[in-house]
Amino acid sequence: MIIRMAFTEFKLYLREPASVAATLGLPLLIVVSFGLLINPGTDTSSLVTYFPGMAIAFSLAILSLNLLPTILANYREKGILRRLSTTPVPPASLLLAQVAVSFAVALAMTLIVVVVGHFVIGFTVPAQLGGFLLAFVLGTLSLFTVGLVIAAIAPSGRAATGIGMLVFFLNMFAGGVFTPRETLPDFLNRIGDFLPLGATLTAMRDAWSGSFPQPLHLLVMATITVVFGLAAAGLFRWE
Amino acid sequence: MAIIEVTNLHKRYRDHVAVHDVSLTVQRGEIFGILGPNGAGKTTTVECVEGLRAPDGGTVRVLGKDPRADRTHLRTKIGVQLQESQLPDRLRVGEALQLYSTFYPDPADWRRLLSDWGLEAKRDTPFGKLSGGQKQRLFIALALIGNPEIAVLDELTTGLDPQARRDTWQLVEEIRERGVTVLLVTHFMAEAERLCDRIAVIDAGRVVAVDTPSGLVSRVDAEQTVRFRPSAPLAEHLLTDLPEVSSVRRVGGQLVVSGTGNLLHAVTSVLARHQVVAADLRVEQADLDDAFVALTGRKLEESK
């Protein structure tokens, strides 16, 4: 039942060309076009980890801060969650299915960026693979819980999109995604360290270049996951 | 046997009382209507029956069980069509039915429902591209997918054109023919009159009457009116002398005779005795609209 639900949600995702383009097409485009520009095979600067990391972070942010809250708030607005609560299946399973599908898309996207970046463009694969996986899982979960809180508090689908946009741009800007943190002033980087996207990207880049992610970033991601996860569970309205 | 029993139901939201005091009993196999203007407390009442809301007072029993405490069990027994509920625009008709069939322990065959409700040609059509009538047919099919004993239909035909509305009425009768008890919420008089075995008239959170449609009409002590154009002059006292007749008026060439009881028979007997033929004969009787006015003191359409 929950598998059928996730399968259905996945089909619905594939039927939104804009969503597929933004979450799978865009990171691929970023990694290929920037890769061709900078020729990573000969570049030894730390910025080499920026482009694939940024492509992944960009897509994760769209997935968690735009798509997830908008879809879930729309489901509530359209009475779909309410309709579910009249069936033997609790409406929370739809949330679960949606999060599972988003996680699967995030995983596939990350895999595509790493594999295409490496074999087609010549980026290195993440040197500290365990640290990278940890950064990916914690980072994705923390971003998803933030998206769930947006869905929980937004009065409508439209409002969820608006709030999501605001959080999205704040994270993209201060999190070192639009421009690498190497070029940002210290105070912005300090803010970025505590934002889910900033912590995720920095931890992934650290792992990519061979060092284990910093405890600060892991702690930030884990704390956000727990706090926002609980907040979403407590605040979520089904109608 | 009573399949739904609502006793002294009371429900308030923050500062306003949605349902003051509602009691009603639905028998197995009937189409039971809840009729009343918008905001009368109809939807809140059925939401308590569905277990979506907890009553603040009174009791609700469905199949002898409490809809809140026994929700897990009852959700397999009640099929619901919610007012203003939708599906994802890109979800296809067949997929929706197939998905919902996996929610129930003993589901109906979704392909069968697809053909039963005339949706076979729409199987691969996304929800967002369906017409209003097709959406309602899908919602009825979804309400029946779990093989329920009770179907609750809330404002099923609101927003439909008259033809689609009549088609949908046909479908509701087919639900009952399957042995499913139907609880129908509506603010359309004609819908309640056409479909329901019994109707609870609700106004401002209270039940004003529970009866059959004709029983409700007969409660109205309204006068009947017989209008006709007499073929020859007729002395008015011949009519006013009748015990059934209360007044006679002349409107143009027409006689308008008001009265009670078997008025038509009394009038036509007099006419026949005097060899007068009644042309353009029309009889106006009370209907459910009049009953509603008599019960609540206002017209249903005005109270919207």
Can you give the pLDDT of all 304 residues of chain B as single tens digits? 799 999 999 999 888 899 999 999 999 999 999 998 888 899 999 999 999 999 999 999 999 999 999 999 999 999 999 988 899 999 999 999 999 999 999 999 999 999 988 899 999 999 999 998 899 899 999 999 999 999 999 998 887 888 888 888 998 998 999 899 999 999 888 899 899 999 999 998 999 999 998 888 877 766 788 999 998 888 888 898 998 898 898 888 898 998 888 888 889 999 999 999 988 898 887 777 777 877 877 776 644 4
Q: How far apart are CA A87 and CA A93, in angstroms?
A: 12
Rg of chain A, C-alpha, whole Å: 18
Q: Is residue B298 part of a domain?
A: no
Cα–Cα distance between A82 and A200 in angstroms, integer? 34
Chain B interface test: which of A14, A16, A87, A239 (most B C-beta within 10 Å): A87
- B182 and B263 together in one domain: no
Q: What is the mean pLDDT of chain A?
A: 94
E strand or H helix at A228? helix A215-235
Q: What is the pLDDT of residue B221?
A: 65
Residues of B in contact with A15 (CB under 8 A): 90
Rounded-to-integer distance, Cα B208 and Cα B32, Å = 15
Residue written as token pair 């509506």: B186
Instruction: Count CB neighbours of A238 within 10 A.
Output: 16
Range(s) of the domain holding residue A97: 2-235
The residues, ordered by sequence, that sit 6+ positions from A92 with a Cβ below 8 Å of its Cβ are none
Please check whether residues B205 and B58 belong to one and the same domain: yes
User: Quick check: B85 and A85 CB within 8 A?
Assistant: no
Angle in degrees, CA A60, A173, A137, rounded to 5? 25
Distance from C-alpha of A133 to C-alpha of A115, rounded to nearest angstrom: 15
Residues of B in contact with A83 (CB under 8 A): 80, 82, 85, 87
According to DSSP, residue B261 is labeled: S
Mutate to test the interface with B, among A83, A89, A93, A98 (most CBs of B within 10 A): A83
Find the closest chain B residue to A17 by CA distance: B90
Tokens of B220: 């109205």
Same domain, B9 and B29: yes
Separation CA A238–CA A12 (nearest Å): 21
Q: What is the domain-level CATH number for residue B88?
A: 3.40.50.300
Per-residue confidence at A192, pLDDT binned at 50, 70, 90?
A: very high
Task: Identify the domain boundary among B218, B233, B266.
Answer: B218
What CATH number has the domain bearing residue B232?
3.30.70.100
B78 with B214, same domain: the answer is yes
Choice among A51-60, A209-218, B292-301 with the minimum mean pLDDT:
B292-301
3-state secondary structure of B259: strand
- Shortest Cα distance, chain B CAs vs residue A12, angstroms: 6
Q: Do B80 and A89 touch (CB under 8 A)?
A: no
Residue-range definition of the domain harbouring residue B171: 2-218
State the Cα angle at B222 between B42 and B188, rounded to 5°: 25
Q: How many domains does chain A have?
A: 1
Residues B19 and B144 in one domain: yes
**B49, B91, B142, best to mutate vs chain A, most A CBs in 10 Å:** B91
Token duo for residue A105: 């898309």
pLDDT score of B304: 40
**Does residue B294 sit within a domain?**
no
Q: How far apart are CA B75 and CA B52, in angstroms?
A: 10
Question: CA-to-CA distance for A93 and A90, rounded, in angstroms?
Answer: 6
B293 inside domain: no
Query: Is the domain of B135 the same as that of B254?
Result: no
Q: In this structure, how many other beta carbons lie within 10 angstroms of the beta carbon of residue A54?
A: 26
Orientation angle between helical segments A129-153 and A215-235, nearest 10 degrees: 30
Report if residue B295 sits inside a domain: no
- Range B97-133 burial, b when 16+ CB lie within 10 A, else e: bbbbbbbbeebbebeebbebbebeebbebbbeebeeb
Q: What is the dihedral of CA A16, A19, A21, A25, to 10 degrees?
A: -130
Whole-number Å distance between alpha carbons of A63 and A16? 13
- Whether B86 sits inside 8 A of A79 (CB atoms) is yes
Quote the CA–CA distance of B57 and A208 in Å, as a whole number: 62
Query: Is-contact B151 B81, C-beta < 8 A?
Result: yes
Asked whether B211 and B199 are in contact (CB, 8 A), the reply is: yes
Q: Give which of B273, B215, B223, B214 is closest to B244, Cα–Cα.
A: B223
Gap between the Cα atoms of B201 and A238, Å rounded: 30
Instruction: Compare CB distances from A8 to B75, B85, B95 and report the shortest one's residue.
Output: B95
Residues with Cβ within 8 Å of B203's Cβ and at least 6 positions away in sequence, in order, are B36, B37, B40, B295, B296
**What confidence tier does A41 reach under pLDDT thresholds 50, 70, 90?**
confident
Residue B124 phi/psi, 5° resolution? -100, 15
Both B127 and B252 in one domain: the answer is no
Q: What is the pLDDT of residues A149-181, one digit of tens each?
A: 999 999 999 999 999 999 999 999 999 999 999
**What distance in Å separates the CA atoms of residue A116 and residue A122, rounded to the nearest whole number?**
9
Asked if residue B129 and residue B8 are part of one domain, the reply reads yes
Determine contact, residues B195/B267, Cβ cutoff 8 Å. Answer: no
B69: which 2 tokens?
């405490």
Alpha carbon of B104: minimum distance to chain A alpha carbons (Å): 7
Query: Using a CB-CB distance cutoff of 8 angstroms, which residues of chain A are in contact with residue B76?
Result: 88
More confident residue, B187 or A13: A13
With respect to residue B90, please indicate whether it lies within any of the assigned structural domains: yes
Compute the distance between CA of residue B238 and CA of residue B245 in angstroms, rounded to an integer. 10
Do B284 and B217 contact (CB within 8 A), yes or no? no
Mean pLDDT over A74-89 rounds to: 93
Instruction: Enter the ipTM.
Output: 0.89
- pLDDT above 80 (res A45): no
Q: Is A78 in CB contact (< 8 Å) with chain B?
A: yes
Q: Does A45 touch chain B (CB under 8 A)?
A: no
Query: Which candidate in B44, B72, B74, B75 is best for mutational testing of the A interface (most A CBs within 10 A)?
Result: B75
The tally of domains found in chain B comes to: 2
| Residue B300 confidence (pLDDT) | 67
Please name the residues in contact with B138: beta carbons below 8 A apart, sequence gap of 6 or more.
B87, B93, B96, B97, B117, B119, B122, B127, B130
Amino acid at B192: A
Q: Is residue B242 part of a domain?
A: yes
Percent of chain A with pLDDT strictly greater than 90: 89
- Kindly state the DSSP code that residue A126 receives in the 8-state scheme: P
Give chain B positions within 8 Å (CB) of A11.
95
Domain identity same for B101 and B249: no
Report how far residue B185's alpha carbon sits from residue B41's, in angstroms, rounded to the nearest whole number: 10
By the CB < 8 Å criterion, does A15 face chain B? yes
Instruction: Please answer yes or no on whether A87 and B75 come within 8 Å at the CB atom.
Output: yes
Same domain, B239 and B112: no
Same domain, B268 and B169: no
Task: Mark whether B214 and B229 lie in a shared domain.
Answer: no
In a domain, B153, yes or no: yes
Residue among B72, B78, B90 whose CB faces A12 most closely: B90
